[in-house]
Amino acid sequence: MKETKMSEGEGCEMCDTSSDGDCCGGGSSGKGCCSGWSEKKWRGGFLKKLCVALVIIFIAYAIVWMGTLIRNNVRGFYSIGLAPAERHNVTISGEGKVTATPNIAYTDIGMVTEGKDVADSQKENSEKMNSLIGGIKAAGVADADIQTSQYNIYPRYSYEAGKSRIDGYTVSQSVRVKIRDLTKINDILGLAGKYGANQVSGVQFTIDDPEMLQAEARAKAVEQAKKKAAMLAGQLGVKFTRIVSFSESFGGGGPMPMYLKAEGVGGAEFLPPQVEPGSLEVQVQVSITFELQ
């Protein structure tokens, strides 16, 4: 039998021989010489399929996006000139009240001094006010709870023959006192007469931290509004689907402020009336708008 020699590269025509000059380094028969080419062919086919899949996904996304855009534009075109769709809403109000005992009181105590000379009037006024403030601190009021509320100096005029002239000066000063121990209210008010202060005004009671009471009152107001809504829905045969808006306001009342004014007591004993804190009422009004089905 005549042996046929396979020349270099025969049977491996599809191999890449650019690098080493032979058929993938294979033998004379060429068997197994194209394994590298097969691997490259597989990789190339996978990448081609991946690219095709990505292009298809992109085209599908573009079609969906374009369709959505066209639909929205068509809706907008047909709604031109039309009034917005009317929503059927019902607004229901509720109120909640909580009663509590005040734990804070405020009062303004001051001194008005009149004199011919402004410097003398200032000195007299300051001496009495400094003594008053010292007495308030001695009664147990902290420095942080004493605040100067006003200080004024203005001239007093008299008119004669169509002309005005300065007859003297008036100096007024007052401090706002925050009283945390309500049992000391009468004692602190009594210091006005002791130290010659001639103005006491605005004994007002309040609650130092009203947030918890407001939250309790709000809960009662919302519950009342919900009961009203349920009752109204049953009576009208409708159904409320959701809350459209909510608003609230705060109120409340208590003892009316007490205003005292003692002009020119001249250091005489000033006996204030017995002051009672009473009670305060914290109110919250809510307004809830429901949408009808």
Sign of CA dihedral 37, 38, 43, 45: positive
* Confidence label for 194 from pLDDT (cuts 50, 70 and 90): confident
Domain extents in the chain: 35-85, 100-212+251-292
At 114, phi and psi to the nearest 5?
-120, 140
Fold classification of 100-212+251-292 is Alpha-Beta Plaits (3.30.70)
* pLDDT of 8 strictly over 50: no
**What CA–CA distance (Å, rounded) separates 251 from 3?**
116
Q: Supply the pLDDT for residue 19.
A: 45
* pLDDT of 13 strictly over 80: no
Q: Supply the pLDDT for residue 255.
A: 43
User: What is the chain's alpha carbon radius of gyration, rounded to the nearest angstrom?
Assistant: 46
**What CA–CA distance (Å, rounded) separates 146 from 283?**
29
Beta partners for residue 201, in sequence order? 108
pLDDT-above-90 percentage for the chain: 34
Using DSSP bridges, classify how beta strands 240-253 and 280-292 pair: parallel, antiparallel or unpaired.
antiparallel
Q: Supply the pLDDT for residue 172.
A: 93
pTM attached to this predicted model: 0.55
**What CA–CA distance (Å, rounded) separates 261 from 111?**
11
* pLDDT of 153 strictly over 80: yes
* pLDDT of 280 strictly over 90: no
More confident residue, 261 or 129: 129
pLDDT tens for 198-209 read 888 878 888 888
More confident residue, 88 or 1: 88
* pLDDT of 17 strictly over 60: no
More confident residue, 24 or 249: 249
**What CA–CA distance (Å, rounded) separates 188 from 138?**
10
